[in-house]
Structure 1
Amino acid sequence: MQGREYYYRRFGRRITLKYRQPGGNATRLEPTFAEFLRFIANEKYFDEHWAPYYRTCEPCALHYDYILKIETLDRDQNFLIQDTKLSDYLYEVRHPRNINPHGATTRKILDEYVTGIPRSLLDKIYKIYENDYKLFNYSFI
């Protein structure tokens, strides 16, 4: 919960009260990933961190000069920095402000999160983010 107090106060308690199933994780204060997914699937409330991206980026309404993808970020950001001549204005790659203290998200971590999530819930989540999957050529789990 450290560093995420705002989200816990704003969403966490409400999610756990409404979506926590009896007997499971009764002592855990934060919502589990499954509880969070049920919240998204049922309430369809989106803050900027989990809103479908196509709603935020409006690819049909705005002209973008650059589109970078997380999957190819090293290559994409190097090109962007070189093309825009931003290297004098940015922190070095290994600068502490550029390093995620929790480490990189890997396929193994994704699999750990998704294990045990009912397929019906994953299907609901896919429908919500379907346009993002298509826009960025992602595959469904």
Structure 2
Amino acid sequence: MLRRYGNVTGRLAGTAAEAFAAGIKPTFHQFITYLLDPETERESIFNEHWRQVYRLCHPCQVKYDFIGRLEDLETDSEQLLKLLKVDHLLRFPSGPQNRTAASWERDWFADIPITERRELYRLYEPDFELFSYPIPDSVLHQLQTTSSQTP
């Protein structure tokens, strides 16, 4: 990703960890550009961290009896432990309550052109549909900065 979109001059570190340690990190826009590049998927570097869930878990081929969501991790994990009848033996550890704030999304996508946001949505649209996520407003509309909004 850094080699292709990082605009880095000179020799780039051998690993991501080395690049990060040297202060070389991709911007969010560079990451989006990487995800939208057809070469990324053809080169099999579209790894499991950002691959579409439907392509990882094959929900049309596997009959799942439980699907949890990160947004509901606490309640979903409690429900799963009850279904497995081990809730008296185990507790799922608590994690951070606010995993992704709406304000973060607005900030992250502020510099991403709307055409790229819509293309990114199309890339993940099957996941949105399969798991009943709403289309983010940031995909449909130009983002407004707080300085340009009227009271």
Q: Please, what TM-score do these two structures have when normalized by structure 2?
A: 0.66
For structure 1, the 5+ residue unaligned runs are 1-10, 19-27
Residues 1:80 and 2:80 are matched in the alignment: yes
Query: Which of these residues, 108, 126, 136, is aligned with residue 131 of structure 2?
Result: 136
Greater relative contact order, per chain length (Cα 8 Å cut-off, separation 6+)? 1
Opposite residue 110 of structure 2, the aligned amino acid is T
Cα offset, 1:139, TM superposition: 2.1
Contact 2:128/2:134, CA 8 A, preserved across alignment? yes
- The aligned counterpart of 2:2 is 12
Max Rg structure: 2
For structure 2, the 5+ residue unaligned runs are 9-22, 137-151
Q: Please, what TM-score do these two structures have when normalized by structure 1?
A: 0.70
Contact 1:41/1:124, CA 8 A, preserved across alignment? yes
Is the helix fraction higher in 1 or 2?
Answer: 1
Contact 2:71/2:99, CA 8 A, preserved across alignment? no
Identity fraction in percent? 30
Query: What CA RMSD, in Å, does the superposition of the two structures yield over aligned residues?
Result: 2.4
Change (3 A) 1:44 1:137: farther
What is the number of residues matched between the two proteins? 116
Change (3 A) 1:122 1:35: same
Change (3 A) 1:13 1:44: closer
- The aligned counterpart of 2:139 is none
